[in-house]
Structure formats: C-alpha cells, structure tokens
C-alpha cells in the first residue's frame, strides 16, 4: 500500500526538534494514539529540523517533520499538515506571556509593556522570514518595530520611560520565540530598560521565571503544548494572558507527498 511506501521511504522516522518541546510530547502521544509502533521520533533542534526539511525539499524527497504555525517554513515551502482525526495535537492555542512574582511591584513599567504586548501571526511571520533570510534577530526585530509604530504604541501606552531598570527575558531557540522575544526586547530597550535576553532549554525557561532568576517569558503555548510545565510551576508564575492567538501544531509534509492523514502512516 502507499502507506507502507511512505514508511519505507522515510525509514519510519519523524524528524523532530528539541526534546523539551511540547511538540515532541504531542508527537509521542500521536504515535501512541495512531499505533505507529514501528516509527521513531528523532530528537534534534528546530535548526536541524529545518535544515533537513530544506535538503529533502530541494531534492523532492519525502520527509515528515514536526511542524508548527506561525513558522516561516509554511511560506517558504509548499507544505501540509497531516490530518489528525484523533486530535492528538490538540486544538488551536494561544501564546502567553508569563512573569515572575513581584515584577509588577518592582518594575511596573517593564511589566506593563509585557502585559500590553500582543500581535498577530502575520506580524510574527514577518520577523521570522527576515531572520530566515539571514537578518540577525535583533536587526529583524528593530526593523519590525520601526515599521509598526502604531502597534508598538499600544504596548507602550501609559508606560513611563525606564531609567535603566534591569529586565531579563528567557526563551528557547524556536524560530517563533526568537522573533517574539527579540521584538519585545527591542521595545523594552527603546523605552529605557536594561534588557537581557537569554536562550535556554524549555524546562529551564519555565523554571527560571518560576524561581525568579529570570523576569519573563513570552513563549508559553497554552492550553495544551506546555501544560506539563505550567502544571509544575503554576503557583509560581504570573500569567499575563495571550500575546498571540491562533497557533497550530502537527506532523508536516511537503505537498508533493501522496499522503494526507496521520492514519496513513500505520503499517
């Protein structure tokens, strides 16, 4: 059958990302839900995954990756999510901003910017695409901020200028989070705050804000993707609500592959 063909072609391998990603847990759940016993999920990183995707795509070879939206890969390549009739990957989600306890009192200006930060998937995609094309994240963020002063004005509304107060943001090297964290960091800097961005793994990102060693993160995917982390730290994190609505996760393949559903992967 064509399904066995797909498995053989990709060596029964799904190309994943960093092991701490919620997307990896969701994929493991999907593999259980759909009985994909012969399959393996390969760990790596977002950067390694997109490099493998590019390699396969350029050769029109089959590949199955763990994908998400917003991501530049859907604008750069013709891709499709495999249908997920069992709902293993959950529904549409929002990305939330979370800060440490006490930040509101100790740094009300930075807190307010973080609280008012909200943008659309198309905004985030613009920054991601620039970075993908080789612009440094900080430069891409500055450019977006320059071109979107109307949106940024809403984030800085009624916020007093900072006076070099320190504010630290933690993030994971997911393309979407590189974009959002650099944009918020740029705005905080321009408002007079002393900003530090620190790249970490997913677990330490949540743990860092929970234990107060970092001030904030803008990278919590809820209600499903990061539910384990949130459950672990929920009493120690202050949830400022969504900064972006309308995300999606799932197994992703090039459109040229003759397969439509995760169910087609079963042998």
Please report, for residues 57, 169, 221, 241, the alpha-carbon distance to residue 95 in angstroms, rounded to integers and kept in the order given.
Answer: 29, 15, 4, 8
Among 7, 14, 16, 22, contact with ligand PBE (rule: CB under 6 A) = 22
Residues 238 and 98 sit within 8 Å (Cβ to Cβ): yes
Instruction: Please give the Cα distance from 119 to 187 (Å, whole number).
Output: 13
Residues 93-152 that bind ligand PBE (CB under 6 A): none
Distance of alpha carbon 217 from alpha carbon 240, whole angstroms: 10
Taking CB under 6 A as the criterion, the residue among 207, 230, 240, 249 binding ligand PBE is: 249
- Give, as ranges, the residues between 184 and 223 that touch ligand PBE (CB under 6 A): 202, 221
> Any contact of residue 252 with ligand PBE (CB under 6 A)?
no
Q: Which of 107, 132, 176, 224 binds ligand PBE (CB under 6 A)?
A: 176
State the number of binding residues for ligand PBE (CB under 6 A).
12
Three-state SS for 52?
helix
Tokens encoding 71:
């991501």
Partnered with residue 249 across adjacent β-strands are 68
Measured from each CB, the residue nearest to ligand PBE is 23
- Which residue in the set 57, 68, 72, 119 belongs to the binding site for ligand PBE (CB under 6 A)? 68
Residues at the interface with ligand PBE (CB under 6 A): 17, 21-23, 68, 174, 176-177, 202, 221, 225, 249
């Amino acid at each position: 059958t064509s399904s066995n063909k797909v498995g053989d072609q990709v060596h029964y391998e799904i190309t994943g990302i960093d092991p701490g990603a919620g997307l990896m847990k969701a994929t493991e759940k999907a593999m259980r839900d759909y009985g994909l016993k012969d399959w393996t999920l390969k760990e790596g990183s977002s950067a390694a995954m997109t490099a493998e995707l590019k390699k396969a795509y350029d050769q029109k070879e089959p590949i199955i990756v763990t994908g998400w939206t917003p991501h530049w890969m859907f604008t750069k390549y013709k891709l499709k999510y495999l249908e997920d009739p069992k709902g293993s990957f959950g529904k549409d989600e929002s990305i939330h901003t979370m800060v440490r306890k006490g930040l509101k009192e100790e740094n009300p200006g930075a807190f307010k910017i973080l609280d008012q930060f909200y943008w659309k998937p198309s905004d985030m995609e613009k920054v991601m695409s620039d970075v993908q094309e080789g612009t440094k994240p900080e430069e891409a963020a500055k450019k977006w901020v320059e071109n979107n002063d109307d949106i940024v004005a809403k984030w800085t509304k009624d916020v007093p200028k900072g006076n070099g107060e320190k504010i630290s943001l933690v993030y994971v090297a997911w393309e979407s989070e590189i974009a959002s964290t650099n944009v918020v960091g740029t705005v905080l800097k321009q408002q007079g705050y002393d900003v530090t961005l620190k790249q970490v793994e997913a677990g330490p990102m949540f743990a860092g804000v929970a234990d107060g060693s970092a001030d904030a993160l803008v990278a919590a995917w809820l209600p499903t993707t990061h539910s384990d982390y949130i459950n672990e730290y929920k009493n120690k994190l202050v949830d400022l609500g969504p900064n972006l609505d309308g995300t999606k996760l799932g197994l992703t393949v090039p459109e040229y592959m003759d397969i439509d559903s995760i169910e087609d992967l079963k042998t």
